[in-house]
Structure 1
Amino acid sequence: MKNILAFALFLTLGVSYAQNTSPCSSPEKRHFDFWVGEWHVFDTLDNKIGENRIQIIEGGCALQENWTGASGSNGTSLNYFDAADSTWNQLWLDNQGGILKLKGKIEESGLLKMSSQPNNGQYNQITWTLLDNGNVSQKWDIFTADDDLLQTIFLGIYKRQ
């Protein structure tokens, strides 16, 4: 009986320890959790432009985005923190054949900024900002390789459903 109780205690402590030491529970791997949720997305004139669902997957090691645009566009992204270089990474794929690979870091102000590698003299940069009211702003800019802004192609305000 003592052996059974000792074994049960060992299992309980082992499970508790394993739950508290998840490989993806460190603070830097939780920085992007402000984006998690189900969102209505609006433009700057408060017109609804889509819906987005961001969920934590793989035991907290990644975020998956599922976008549905009001104009019929759909897409998904996988987002993860890479401890090897302390960067956030995103792979975006959409129903128009678009593929975008981004890498970046949390800025001192708390926003997350990720950029693509330059291609044909320009690169993409997406910035997510947690707003004071709990909404999230997502801005997608295109820059020249010399860091001159060419255009903003998306500016969405995420409001929780």
Structure 2
Amino acid sequence: MKTIFTILLIASALSANAQDNDITKAFDFWVGEWDAKWGKGETAGSGTNTITKKLDDKVINEDFKILEGTNAGFLGNSVSVYNPRTKQWHQAWVDNQGGFINLVGEIDGNKKIFKTLPVEKDGKIAIQRMVFYDITPDSFTWNWEGTQDGGKTWNLLWQINYTRKK
């Protein structure tokens, strides 16, 4: 009996670990309603972000709003999807300023990342990326970063601290 219990316990742990490592669910932590805050003083701002799953729970939809700060009234929307044929995440971002960004997802340890494709300009290779990290059930940190050297070094352009709405 003890052996069967041990086997069931190990199988349960392996199953839970497999779910944690399921690439198709890599961005499920993001689903929910979030308060967003960034900066201090003149650079401070706040907003909300509502993340839902759609289309048979295969598509993650984001509705981002800046409520306070220099860009109050900014609205953005993204759709993210995992493509099982290419085994890659993709995101398309649009906003009320005419912005459109095409991003590809990846996982780097505990970091979840969406990044632009490299663009060469004046001999430099520019990439931008968003990085989700310090992820807990009720909070995470999000960075928008840029590089001019193809990803050897990254510069922080914007950091948002997210807390789940209660």
Flag as ranges the 4+ runs of structure 1 deviating above 6 A: none
Deviation at 1:150, TM superposition (A): 6.1
Deviation at 1:134, TM superposition (A): 2.8
Runs of 5+ unmatched residues, structure 1? 1-25
Q: Is 1:80 aligned to 2:75, yes or no? A: no
Quote the residue 1:118 is aligned against: 118
Tell me the amino acid that sits aligned with residue 60 of structure 1: D
Tell me the amino acid that sits aligned with residue 62 of structure 1: V
Normalising by structure 1, we get a TM-score of 0.75
Give the SS at the match of 2:56. Answer: helix
Q: Is 1:58 aligned to 2:62, yes or no? A: no
Is this contact kept in 1: 2:142–2:161, CA < 8 A?
yes
- Inter-CA distance 59–118: structure 2 relative to 1 (3 Å threshold): same
Quote the residue 1:157 is aligned against: 161
Normalising by structure 2, we get a TM-score of 0.73
Is this contact kept in 1: 2:118–2:150, CA < 8 A?
no
The correspondence for 1:43, drawn from 33, 38, 42, is 38
Give the SS at the match of 1:29. Answer: helix
Offset from partner CA, 1:80-127 (integer Å, 9 cap, x none): 111122211110000011111110212222x21121012233111111
Is this contact kept in 1: 2:31–2:52, CA < 8 A?
yes
Offset from partner CA, 1:29-66 (integer Å, 9 cap, x none): 11111000001001155955210000011111010000
Return the index of the structure with the highest Cα Rg: 1
Runs of 5+ unmatched residues, structure 2? 1-20
The structure with the greater share of residues assigned to strand is 2
Is this contact kept in 2: 1:141–1:149, CA < 8 A?
no
Matched positions, count:
135
Tell me the amino acid that sits aligned with residue 142 of structure 1: G
RMSD (Å) for aligned C-alpha atoms: 2.2
Is this contact kept in 1: 2:89–2:106, CA < 8 A?
yes
Quote the residue 1:140 is aligned against: 144
Tell me the amino acid that sits aligned with residue 114 of structure 1: F
- Inter-CA distance 133–54: structure 2 relative to 1 (3 Å threshold): closer
After the TM superposition, which residues 102-117 of structure 1 pair with which residues of structure 2 at under 5 Å, given as runs? 102-109=103-110, 111-117=111-117
Give the SS at the match of 2:76. Answer: strand
